[in-house]
Amino acid sequence: MQGSFVDEHSARLDLARTAREIWQRGLGAAGDGNLSVRVSAGRIIATPGSCHKGRLEGRDMVAVDLDGRSRGRGRPSSELQLHLAAYRQRPEIRAVIHAHPPMALALNLAGGRVSEVVVSEVIFAFGQVATAPYTTPTTSDVPETLAPYLACYDAILMERHGSITLGTTLEQAFIRLDALEHSARIASFARLMGGASQIPSPEVERLYAVAGVDSQLPYRQDASSCPPLEPGDSAQQAPLEDRLIEAVLARLRGGGR
């Protein structure tokens, strides 16, 4: 279902405020990342390229169409292609945030699976985060590789680069970024303290049902058509531990045969 569009003046002010918050919260260095809001079917307002995210004002934002052509003053970021790929594939999406959240990136670099659900809140915030393989930033490789992920997930971590979160509002995209970084921080600290266990599959499934995300996200409807949650996974497959639990439960349900 598609909601109404936010007016352009409000979108510009919201972008400036959210960009400042992202920088102040350390979700990227001053020049990192970019944010955008779709204000009509074919008009996107976005943060400009090469700017300090803590010092932007509404009038600094740039306007582009869905093909990335400038529709006013200013120069859009080369990374805006990533946003446009999301808008083209997901008509319901009204805001995109690309950031460089340090704990999520560090957890991935250290070999952690960012997709593992260690706290229940992530289910309610974005359902599931997928990790996409590394691509060279600012090149066309990024939107090409990310396209199938954008079709399936609302939160994606790009290896050695950053995150992308989508929302039907800018606030929702920000909350998803914040939840991604927060859960990665908890998982990272838990690993330092001896290990982070994830929530068992049956409870994760129950959380999905309670959160009501099954009807909203493509990967919940048909996971086989979506990229795997982690680059090393050959298919959309739960981790070994979960598959073993499922196998044992299935055997018990069958009367122990």
Smallest distance, Å, CB 208 to Zn ion? Answer: 30
Amino acid at 30: A
What single DSSP character describes residue 76?
B
Q: For Zn ion, which is the closer residue by CB, 170 or 207?
A: 170
Contacts of 245 (CB under 8 A, 6+ apart): 200, 201, 202
Q: Which is nearer to Zn ion, 5 or 134 (CB)?
A: 134
Q: Residue 97 Cβ, how far from Zn ion at the closest point, in Å?
A: 11
Residue sitting closest to Zn ion (CB): 162
Q: How far apart are CA 109 and CA 18, in angstroms?
A: 27
Write the DSSP symbol of residue 140. T
Q: In the complex, what is the shortest distance from the CB of residue 214 to Zn ion, in angstroms, rounded to a whole number? A: 31
Helix, coil or strand: residue 244: helix
CB neighbourhood size of 207 (10 A): 18
- Residue numbers 126-165 binding Zn ion by CB under 5 A: 162
Binding residues for Zn ion, how many (CB under 5 A)? 1
28 binds Zn ion, rule: CB under 5 A:
no
Least distance (Å) between residue 93 CB and Zn ion? 19
Closest separation in Å from C-beta 25 to Zn ion = 17
Q: Could you please report the per-residue DSSP string of 22-66?
A: HHHTTSS-TT--EEEEEEETTEEEEPBSS--TTS--GGG-EEEET
Q: Cβ closer to Zn ion: 130 or 199?
A: 130
**157/226 with CB nearer Zn ion:** 157
Give 91 or 231: the residue with its C-beta nearer to Zn ion.
231
Binding residues for Zn ion (CB under 5 A): 162
